[in-house]
Amino acid sequence: MTSHLDPRQTLRRQLRQTRRNLSISEQLDAATTLIPCYINLFERLAIHPAKRVALYLSNDGEISPHLLCEFFWQQNIETYLPVVQGKQLTFARYCEETVWQENIFGIKEPMTTEYLSGNELDIVLLPLVGFDSNGGRLGMGGGFYDRTFENKRADETPLLIGLAHDCQEVKSLPIEGWDVPLQAILTPTKIVLV
């Protein structure tokens, strides 16, 4: 039987299943490695520490930035989470006292009326479904990050950094014109600079 899905949809489905198959132990080990990888990335790039960083609550087997978030809090770095507003994202402050609501996808978001736009952040850590060594990113397919950062130039803030498990790497991704490029990708074993 022939699949009616385009190659990106087929790849997305396969990679999502691969990351969901990781054990709880493998997930925790991967999350633990993000802190030294993040520090190493900033030493390599020789840039100043960030003051405002957006991350995400892991879902569907995504590598979890929860330990990295705790590291940011210890460093007095403000953390933000994406909030779906229409077809784009804004970002809401995230702290231990955050009050939650669910968005249209059933994902928790901070309940607030105070938001930042993407260009007010220093760094955005994005979840990935797949990536390649050229910095190509395959997301969940909704296009929220792409629309939010569609006018961002590579030399402007925020720095867009993808987070992924090693098993999410593919040889080459089919990239579309609307795909917003990343500046780096972090996995448990590597840093891909674009």
70-90: pLDDT as tens digits: 999 999 999 999 999 989 999
Whether the CB-CB separation of 126 and 56 falls below 8 Å is answered with yes
pLDDT band at 127 (very low <50, low <70, confident <90, very high): very high
Q: What is the pLDDT of residue 1?
A: 38
Tokens of 136: 């190509």
Is residue 70, in this structure, part of any structural domain at all? yes
pLDDT at 137 over 60: yes
Report, as an integer, the average pLDDT of 144-152.
91
4-43 confidence digits (pLDDT tens):
558 888 899 999 999 999 999 999 999 999 999 999 998 8
Q: Is residue 1 part of a domain?
A: no
126: exposed, middle or buried (C-beta count within 10 Å: 0-12, 13-18, 19+)?
Answer: buried
Among 72, 56, 54, which Cα is nearest to 124's? 54
What CATH number did the domain enclosing 179 receive?
3.40.50.10420
Counting the structural domains of the chain, the total is 1
pLDDT at 129 over 80: yes
Q: Give the structural domain span for 28.
A: 7-193
pLDDT, one tens digit per residue, over 176-193 is: 777 888 999 999 999 998
